[in-house]
Amino acid sequence: MSNAKSLPLLDSAGEGVVPCCPPLDQRPITAEEAETAARMFKALGDPVRLRLFSAVAAHEGGEACVCDISDVGVSQPTVSHHLKKLKEAGLLTSERRGTWVYYRVEPAVLAAMGQLLTTTAPAARAAAV
Amino acid sequence: MSNAKSLPLLDSAGEGVVPCCPPLDQRPITAEEAETAARMFKALGDPVRLRLFSAVAAHEGGEACVCDISDVGVSQPTVSHHLKKLKEAGLLTSERRGTWVYYRVEPAVLAAMGQLLTTTAPAARAAAV
């Protein structure tokens, strides 16, 4: 993953990566965390981009080229534009192999966003206050 | 919750509610599902709204009035505007009690959005194809 280090929700932490932010209901998210996370939510806040993101994530092997996911009813330049936006938001990584650029969802990013939206148990919430 | 039926990610299903959409990497999300889910992601795609949403979710008892969450550095009318947007997107419900309107995050909505961002195990993904 050539640009994995730029994934904004993640910090390098020795052996692996750790998500930046706790569940949204555990404690109020900070301004800095909110800037990062809002950028990613905004990138998914467009139906076509969300479909493309899902198409890449669900594609065999967890990666896809533009040629694989052009069935969302928009032109290929529009697809490329949206894929670029998703990449800029840190949701996709890309790699050129031969003629095509292949896009991949970083599972850790998906997990980090999912964690933001996890419902905290009341006990855990109380402990965090 | 007076407006629980309008929560767009949820369908009434007998005793409870079921989320509308499977994990994004399980199968490509449909156009209709994407419209619904993108609206909610878009609502969280603003740093101030995301902080307010988190402030409500993390507040004692899972609910808060404007008076409780006005420390995000914007004016109270702006806070009210953003809370209205979150409500319109189905992320918050509200109830007037006395002087104040109380906002609450519907845990099922948080769970439904979290499920969208769950990473499917490879075996489950293969079975869904």
What is the maximum span of chain B, computed from C-alpha positions, in angstroms?
54
ipTM exceeds 0.85, yes or no? no
∠B83-B85-B91 over CA atoms, to 5°?
A: 80
Task: With beta carbons under 8 A apart, name residues in chain A contacting B24.
Answer: 50, 53-54, 57-58, 110
CB distance A50–B44 less than 8 Å? no
**Chain A, nearest residue to B113 by Cα:** A117
CB distance B54–A105 less than 8 Å? no
pLDDT of amino acid A61: 86
Across A29-35, average pLDDT: 91
Confidence of residue B122 (pLDDT cuts 50, 70, 90): low
Contact indicator for B27, A49 with CB cutoff of 8 Å: no
Name the range with the highest mean pLDDT among A64-68, B32-36, B43-47, B63-67.
B43-47
For residue A61, the tally of other CB atoms under 10 A from its CB is 9
Shortest distance between the Cα of A50 and any Cα of chain B, in A, equals 6
**Chain A, nearest residue to B60 by Cα:** A126
**pLDDT: which is higher, A92 or A3:** A92
Amino acid A29 reads: I
Count Cβ–Cβ pairs < 8 Å, chain A vs chain B. Answer: 130
Of A86, A112, A83, A123, the residue nearest A10 (C-alpha): A112
pLDDT of amino acid A95: 94
Residue-wise over B50-60: b if at least 16 C-beta within 10 A, else e? bbbbbbbbbbe
CB distance A50–B24 less than 8 Å? yes
pTM of the model: 0.79
- The alpha-helical segments, DSSP class H, found in A1-129 are 31-43, 47-58, 76-88, 107-116, 122-128
Distances in Å between the alpha carbon of B38 and those of A22, A40, B71? 22, 12, 28
pLDDT of amino acid B2: 41
CB distance A31–B42 less than 8 Å? no
**pLDDT: which is higher, B15 or B109:** B109
Across A53-71, average pLDDT: 88
Over residues B69-99, the pLDDT tens digits come to 878 888 888 998 999 999 998 899 999 999 9
pLDDT of amino acid B102: 94
